[in-house]
Structure 1
Amino acid sequence: MKLKIPAGDFGGYIFDLDGTLVDTMPLHYRAWNRAMQLAGLREELSEDLFYSLGGMPTVKVAAVFGKHYGLEVDVEKVFHQKEALFLELKSEMKLIEAVVQFARDAVKQGKPVSVASGGPRDIVRTTLELMGLAPLFPVVVTPEDVVHGKPAPDMFLLAAEKMGVPPERCLVFEDAQPGIQAAEAAGMLWVHVDSRIKS
């Protein structure tokens, strides 16, 4: 995987987690597909719809799926089922090496890095720990830390503040449209990581 890094004097870097640092999106899809079927879905969950919502807070995703398929869903129940199903697949997680190496190189150069993920805090921290990334990212922002998740800019602005870097000097790494919209709303340049292409 080749990353297209825009020119600029960047003071810090913000990374989405799923589909950006760790190749978990296919696992999240399988967990969502099963959770939605348990909630009454009688077909395979649309992969295109799933990927279009990457980075959005998990509870919101459950609501979007329910509305799309005309299902009355208990979003909290579906959310918890989905995360439990995802954790059952944790042994299949793999690093997206090109992005992780960029983060490691940035830290060696003395640049701060952070994670801003749409996943629940406990799942985000578990993923970082399982993949050996927790020590690399002292700053972790999740939807629990802000009023509005992606595509609003709140998570990226908070990550920038915690790193001590002005928003306009942050570069964001993202795999999905809601995250790219959030970066643009925060006044940050971004790098698109294609979560469907393996590193």
Structure 2
Amino acid sequence: MLGLPDHVTACLFDLDGVLTQTARVHNAAWARTFDDFLQRHAALTGEPFRPYDPAADYNRYVDGRQRADGVRTFLASRGITLPEGHPDDPPGADTVNGVGNRKNVVLLQRIRTDGVQPYAGSVDYLHAAQRAGLRRAVVSASANCADVVMAAGLSPLLEVRVDGVVARQRGLRGKPFPDTFLAAAEAFGVRPEQAAVFEDALAGVAAGRAGGFGYVIGVDRVGQADDLRAHGADVVVRDLAELLTAADPPRPRAGGAGSTEGAAT
């Protein structure tokens, strides 16, 4: 029992907040980066300094998005527009890419200091999915996905990786667009309706719904279950271990992407 409909043959997992406990590390890195920028911006413009909110701002504007998209979306919420710059801009540059690269420097420092811990329930779920013969991919907006997966010891349990590096190389749009999830399903040779998406981010859940995937599991680590459902989750759990102990098979929402009503067999 994996808590999935019978027609699902592939599992597409987000990384931060679903498989690994790195969402809080990302959030701390964003907080330091944005607050440094906002303080400098306030000093230059005379506007009051309003710090980044690690709860509301992270979940609404940053979580699940590619790095540059997170910078652009958050700053737009504050009425700030920066030039795009270039992917190799120095971390001190006041460009979208420069701010994003500064965040990455801070993130890597914290990862080296604190390490990476996977969620025990997620490790158990990956092992169960492997034993059941389900295909397993990690789909992350992070350009550091490969390093985090390796540091967490999850490499043997994941067959395909579609991350920020792959997205940039292939010109894939980031979440809430479904491009990266669709690329992972394509790598397995399965149709979207045969794959399940596991996401803790609102943008990621929306991407799973937009892509017509067979089942969308929202993972609620921060108390946003209602928002995850509103963005398209078929079911919401606090930890993947709950799916292993589900008493009854799940039923996709009526008329949703996972519904088999009227489908060809």
Fold agreement, TM-score > 0.5 = yes
Moved more, 31-40 or 42-51: 42-51
Post-superposition offset of 1:40? 2.7
Q: Secondary structure at the match of 1:85?
A: helix
Larger radius of gyration: 2
Q: Which residue is 1:75 aligned to?
A: 96
Query: 2:56 matched to which residue of 1?
Result: 48
Question: Could you say what secondary structure the match of 1:132 adopts?
Answer: coil
Residue 113 of structure 1, aligned match among 133, 136, 141:
136
Which residue of 2 is the match for residue 15 of structure 1? Answer: 13
Tell me, what secondary structure is at the counterpart of 1:66?
helix
Paired with 1:187 and 1:8, the residues of 2 have a C-alpha distance of 16
- Pick aligned residue for 2:201 from 176, 192, 197: 176
For residues 106 and 147 of structure 2, the distance between their equivalents in structure 1, rounded to whole angstroms, comes to 14
Q: How far off is 1:153 after superposition?
A: 1.1
Q: How does 1:118-157 map to 2 (within 5 A)?
A: 118-120=141-143, 123-142=144-163, 143-144=167-168, 145-157=170-182
Q: TM-score, normalised by structure 1?
A: 0.89
Could you tell me how far 1:6 is from its partner in structure 2? 4.4
Residue 8 of structure 1: how far off its partner (Å)? 3.2
In 2, Cα distance between the equivalents of 1:26 and 1:187? Answer: 29
Identity of aligned residues (%): 28
Which of 8, 26, 29 aligns to 1:28? It is 26
> Does 2:193 align with 1:195?
no
For 2:66, give the aligned amino acid: P
Provide the alpha-carbon RMSD of the alignment.
1.9
Cα distance in structure 1, aligned partners of 2:35 and 2:7: 47
Cα deviation per residue 1:11-30 (whole Å; 9 max; x = unaligned)?
11000001110111111111
| Equivalent position of 2:227 in the other structure | none
Taking the aligned partners of 1:195 and 1:11, their CA distance within structure 2 comes to 25
Aligned partners of 2:132, 2:3: CA distance in 1, in Å? 16
Alignment check: 8 A CA contact 2:63 2:201 kept: yes
Provide the rounded CA distance (Å) in 1 between the counterparts of 2:120 and 2:198.
Answer: 13
> Which SS does the other structure have where 1:39 is aligned?
helix
* Alpha-carbon distance, 1:110 to partner: 1.9
| Aligned match for 1:163, one of 179, 188, 196 | 188
Q: Distance in 1 between matches of 2:4 and 2:154?
A: 25
Contact 1:151 1:179 in 2 (8 A): yes
Per-residue CA deviation, residues 146-192 of structure 1 (Å, 9 max, x unaligned), is: 43111111111110011122210101100011111111111111111
Task: Give the conservation status (yes or no) of the 8 Å contact 1:5–1:191.
Answer: no
Q: 5+ unaligned residues in a row in structure 1: which ranges?
A: none
Report the residue type matching 1:34 in the other structure.
R
Q: How many residues align?
A: 194
SS of 2:11 mapped into structure 1: strand
Q: Which residues of 2 match residues 96-107 of structure 1 at below 5 A?
A: 96-107=119-130
| Distance in 2 between residues matched to 1:186 and 1:23, nearest whole Å | 26
Distance verdict in 2 for CA 1:175–1:31, change over 3 Å = same
Q: Among 82, 88, 91, which residue is 2:109 paired with?
A: 88
